[in-house]
Amino acid sequence: MRAFQTFQAFQSQPTRTTPVSRLTIVCLAEALNTLRKQMFTDLTALGLRATHVSITRWSDRDVASATVTLDCSHASRASLTALVMRLSGEHCVRRVFWSDDANRPDRRVGAAAAA
């Protein structure tokens, strides 16, 4: 048992040095691929790196979502905010959710923010 406990000590999660942001965009399903490609072009231009991407499509609705987890330094936060505001202005976008790290509440932009 002691050997197992010793092994578990080495399984701890590595410490993250770069803050993490999560960006979720809900948009019309037919526009998701174009919007996703443009978003990644913009993120690359800003020097931000996506560490995880999740795409969800609902068969009973005409909307889909893309959730992107980013390594985003505090210095890049203003650029990310500008990107989020621009994306929320697209006619095909229904909602944009944005959160910093796991402990902060979501920032909602677009139609959901007014509700």
Q: Quick one: pLDDT at residue 28? A: 95
Q: Quick one: pLDDT at residue 19? A: 83
> Which CATH number characterizes residue 88's domain?
3.30.70.260
Q: What is the SS3 assignment for 68?
A: strand
| Residue 74 Cα distances to 12, 21, 48, 86, angstroms | 25, 10, 11, 19
CA distance 92 to 83: 15
Residue 43 lies in a domain: yes
Q: Quick one: pLDDT at residue 77? A: 86
Helix (H) or strand (E) holding 74: none
Residue 78 lies in a domain: yes
Q: Quick one: pLDDT at residue 33? A: 93
Q: Quick one: pLDDT at residue 1? A: 53
Q: Quick one: pLDDT at residue 90? A: 93
pLDDT tens for each residue of the chain, 115 residues long: 555 555 555 555 555 567 888 999 999 999 999 999 999 999 999 888 899 999 999 887 899 999 999 988 888 888 888 999 999 999 999 999 888 864 444 455 554 444 4
Residue 9 lies in a domain: no
The whole domain housing 100 covers 17-114
